[in-house]
A and B are shown apart, each in its own frame.
Chain A
Amino acid sequence: MGKYLARRILTTIPVLVGISFIVFALVSFAPGDSISLMLSNETVNVENVAKLKAELGLDRPWYVQYVSYMGKLVKGDMGRSVQFNRPVAEMIGEKIGNTFKLTIFSCFVSLCIAIPLGVLAAARRRSIFDYSATAIALVGVSMPSFYLGLLLILFFGLRLGWLPIRGLPTYDSTFLKQIRYLILPSITLGSSMAGILTRLTRATMIEALGQDFARTARAKGQSEMGVLFKHAFPNAFLPILTTFGMQFGSLLGGAVIIETIFSLPGLGMLAMNAVKFRDLPLIQGTVLVFAVCFVAVMLIVDILYVFIDPRIRYD
């Protein structure tokens, strides 16, 4: 088990290096860079910008810059943002909490919708629950997130005025207040995942309920509820878990749109603004953090797999 873990972690390293290399190459070869953007400002102080360029080593060839960046990264130094002149790690640290709050709450909302609906749909096939579950799932998967977000803002925020349309209250806010602000963005972000998971839950539950062990349990006198939760659900759980893990990654990426619509200061917006300004250290930092999160989630899912299903062996 420990060996498996070690091996898995080791294979992620070339992946992360690959990602950082692609980002570096893309931004380096791209038209436009942070210095020329600064120079386009008509009030610019040309000498000091030239000094800055030299200080940041931006006049060196790109491969030298890359090696230097990686060298620092290994020591834990993510560099400084060119645009804001602040340590990248600090900027990410401020924003990552917001993105996590949004992502986790979206997951929570999705699961709260998907699992009960999916289980209910499987238990009461061809009933109103089944059809509405499928309908809701399909809508969730087909609705563009930005459209849903705008509709929710229009309806709940403007017309009814029930819910705030900004992602987070400014500060010194209680937990409950933050939840209130997160409701609309989380529903928007989680809708697609909710759709996928609802259908998945329904499908796997239907299959599990049709299996021999379920029939045996019923024959032995287990109640329907018992069959559902003691036998069927644990078997259905694994594929749900895997898909959940994979969807989590797309949540992190999809957060950009939600953050834009709801003015949520998170990692997604930070990354997008960094790209606009060609702020290479900041771009690198945010992309790597995203990638690491994604990889970590996959790893956790894999580990949980081992604990949940002892039949799986990794040598």
Chain B
Amino acid sequence: MFRKTFAAIVLTALLLGGATAAFGATPRSGGTLKVAASSLQSLQLYKTAANDITDSQSVIFDTLFILSKDDFKPIPSLAEKWTNPDPLTWVFSIKKGVLFHDDNPVFPKGTRREVTADDVVYSIEFMQKTSTAYTLGPITGVKALDRYTVEITTKTPQPFLVNDPNRLCRMCIIPKEAIDKLGEDGFAKHPIGSGPYKFKSFSPDSGLLLVKNAFYRLPVYLDAVEFVVIPDPLAQSIALQSGEIDVIKHLFNLEMADSFEKNAKFNVVKSGGGSYRGLGFNTTVAPYNNPAVRKALSMLLDIDTAYKAIIGDHGERAYGQVPPWVPFGYDPSLKDLWSYDPAQGLKILAANGFKDQDGDGFLDLNGKPFKIEIKTLAGSQVKALTILATQLREKGINASVLTQDTAVWADDLLKGNTTVFFDYSFAGTTGFHSLFHGSMIGAANTHFYNNPEVNKLLDEALTKVKFDELSSLWKKAQRLVFKDTVGIPLYFEYSYAVASKKVVDFVPPWGGLTLVSSENNVWLNK
């Protein structure tokens, strides 16, 4: 009898132990997570869209909400819930008992300074006033309704306000006293927020050290998080392999993804998001102002071969500009707009004045030699574009790729000193509007495209808050834009992070780097 009980106890213990092991054990406290950063020059808020800075800020500061790692829908962070009493009004209720960091030049050790609605109001106004890299959109008023409730009113309905990774998602909650006491410059040297890790020390372009905020509203496991600046992607990979760093949060070189995947000591984590890459036309310059010519050129391109050769599994073909991970507007049926039909394409070109008159093997336009110079930035797309240019050359179009310095490229695009160029969007929710709406000419609409029908659809979309309504409007607009072949979508490139096996629960950044949240909580399994 005794033996049976004993056996039962041992068996249960073993089962429990096994079960725990199978579930990956309970999180352990301790350790410093070392994250690679390419550049970390200054911690000023909202001056640059550079990922490393915004990622570090999302660890130091709280935001009202974060984007879920599964479907990028906004989930509560500092805000418990939010509602729309009417399409122009947003009411956020924030959690109680959230504290700003103590033990710093503004709040001495032991200070319990609670985050209130006034802080949220102040933070939003601060962002509106000082931000150059991000915009919140047309907000007409912000006010605190009570100690834990904030009301935001907008000029027109703003569905993007909480769905886009670059709007309210970027707004960091800061204490007014810190700005008053330290000034903006001083605050950048010693940021104070209410996030899971507090600022310890910063050596510009060398490293940033953050330590555990013991009073955070969720358990924090790591003792410290260190951002180690390693500008060169190759050096980052080597540092990861040698154990000098634990995580590369954004892998630049997709070939590295394959070699890390084969290495059992590392996990390659695919981000839910990525970026859009395509070819754009300046629709005001001949012969690209002729939609037939644009369509014909698109028929000469075997895009599947080109992008697969470079990206392989690390991306997917794009038929429209809106990517699959945006909650509305993704339309795979746009596939029917594109076909690889060189014979037909050449026929259309011939009908529009393209003929090889000087016998050099390349088509001339109305008697004059015709060249396409695709202007692009340096990056992985250069290879894909080179392949496409080679394809065009094989079909008889004298095409080449011109890699430009970033500032020159940006300038050329803005001034319209382009014909065919590399179209890039980091594929959040506002991209489609920015790239193709008539009012964005002179900013992101570098196609100089102004179609009143499209504008109308996009404007109407701005007034809708429900996803299905947005979706149908955007799908209609996309169809118009791409029937006009304003741009040629090429592919969506996935984003990857690589972490050593001992890092548990790491989520690649999207709209910020989330180390501690209701969905994930990073710890080190030594």
Contacts and interface: CB of A to CB of B under 8 A. Distances in A.
Interface of A: 30-34, 36-46, 48-49, 52, 83-86, 91, 94-95, 157-158, 161, 164-166, 168, 170-171, 260-263, 265, 269-270, 273, 276-278
Interface stretch (B131-139, B297-305, B306-314, B495-503): B131-139
B284 interface: no
B247 interface: no
11 contacts: A34-B407, A41-B49, A43-B133, A44-B132, A48-B135, A49-B132, A84-B41, A94-B205, A164-B244, A170-B207, A265-B206
Interface string B201-219: 1011111000000000000
Contact of A39 (B47, B406, B443): B443
A23 B431 CA distance: 36
Given A42-B434, A84-B42, A91-B41, 9 more contacts: A41-B49, A42-B425, A42-B426, A46-B135, A48-B130, A83-B48, A168-B206, A170-B226, A171-B207
A41 B203 contact: no
Given A44-B132, A44-B135, A170-B228, A36 B414 contact: yes
Interface in B416-434: 425-426, 428, 430-431, 434
B250 to A, nearest CB: 16
Nearest to B204: A94
B468 interface: no
A45 B410 contact: no
Contacts of A45: 131-135
B125 interface: no
B178 interface: no
B37 to A, nearest CB: 11
B225 to A, nearest CB: 13
Contact of A37 (B207, B239, B406): B406
A40 B410 contact: yes
Interface residues of B, number: 53
Interface stretch (B72-80, B230-238, B343-351): B230-238
B48 A84 contact: yes
Interface of B: 39, 41-42, 44, 47-49, 129-135, 166, 185, 188, 201, 203-207, 226, 228-232, 235, 238-239, 242, 244, 405-414, 425-426, 428, 430-431, 434-435, 443-444
A262 B235 CA distance: 8
A33 B235 contact: no
A48 B407 contact: no
A165 to B, nearest CB: 6
B439 to A, nearest CB: 11
Contacts of B426: 42
B232 A260 contact: yes
Instruction: Identify which of A158, A161, A165, A262 gathers the most chain B CB atoms within 10 Å of its CB.
Output: A165
B411 A85 contact: no
Contacts of A46: 135, 443
A43 B47 contact: no
Contact of A32 (B129, B203, B411, B425): B411
Contact of B235 (A44, A85, A165, A270): A165
A40 B413 contact: yes
A263 B231 contact: yes
A277 to B, nearest CB: 6
B131 A48 contact: yes
A113 B293 CA distance: 65
A214 B244 CA distance: 56
B41 A32 contact: no
B152 to A, nearest CB: 17
A39 B134 contact: no
Contacts of A40: 409-410, 413-414, 444
Contact of B238 (A38, A42, A158, A270): A158
Given A36-B414, A166-B235, A276-B406, A86 B206 contact: no
